[in-house]
Amino acid sequence: RLRALNRLQVILQHLKMSKQTDSTAEVLLEKKGGAGIITLNRPKALNALNLSMIQQIYPQIKKWEQDPETFLIIIKGTGGKAFCAGGDIRAITEAGKVGDKMSQDFFRGEYRLNNAIGTCKKPYVALIDGITMGGGVGVSVHGHFRVATEKTVFAMPETAIGLFPDVGGGYFLPRLSGKIGYYLGLTGCRLKGRDVLKVGIATHFVESEKLPALEKDLIALKSPSKEKIADLLNSYHMKCTIDQDKEFVLDEHMEKINSLFSGNSMEEIVKKLKQDGSPFAMKQLETINKMSPTSLKLTLRQLREGASMNLQEVLQMEYRLSQACMKGHDFYEGVRAVLIDKDQSPKWKPAALEEVSDEFVDNCFKPLGNDDLKL
Q: Which of 110, 158, 215, 318 is catalytic?
A: 158
State the Cα–Cα distance between residues 219 and 227, nearest whole angstrom: 15
Does residue 19 surpass a pLDDT of 50?
no
Q: Cis before residue 224, ω within 30 degrees of 0?
A: no
Coil vs helix vs strand at 146: strand
Mean pLDDT in residue range 267-277:
98
Based on the residue annotation, tell me whether 129 is a catalytic residue of this protein: no
**The pLDDT of residue 345:** 95
Q: Which of 88, 129, 166, 215 is catalytic?
A: 166
Residue 57, number of CB atoms within 10 A of its CB? 22
Q: Which of 77, 96, 135, 185 is catalytic?
A: 135
* Residue-wise pLDDT tens digits, 215-269: 999 999 988 899 999 999 999 999 999 999 999 999 999 999 999 999 999 999 9
Delineate the domains of the chain, giving CATH numbers in brackets: 24-371 (3.90.226.10)
* Residue-wise pLDDT tens digits, 124-179: 999 999 999 999 999 999 999 999 999 999 999 999 999 999 999 999 999 999 99
Q: How confident is the model at residue 199 (pLDDT cuts 50, 70, 90)?
A: very high
Mean pLDDT in residue range 267-272:
98
Residue with the larger pLDDT of the pair 18 and 52: 52
**The pLDDT of residue 12:** 63
Mean pLDDT in residue range 344-352:
97
| Phi, psi torsion values for 128, nearest 5 degrees | -90, 70
Predicted TM-score of the model (pTM): 0.93
Q: Which of 87, 136, 162, 306 is catalytic?
A: 87
Based on the residue annotation, tell me whether 34 is a catalytic residue of this protein: no
Based on the residue annotation, tell me whether 130 is a catalytic residue of this protein: no
H-type alpha helices, 240-310: 254-260, 266-276, 279-290, 293-306
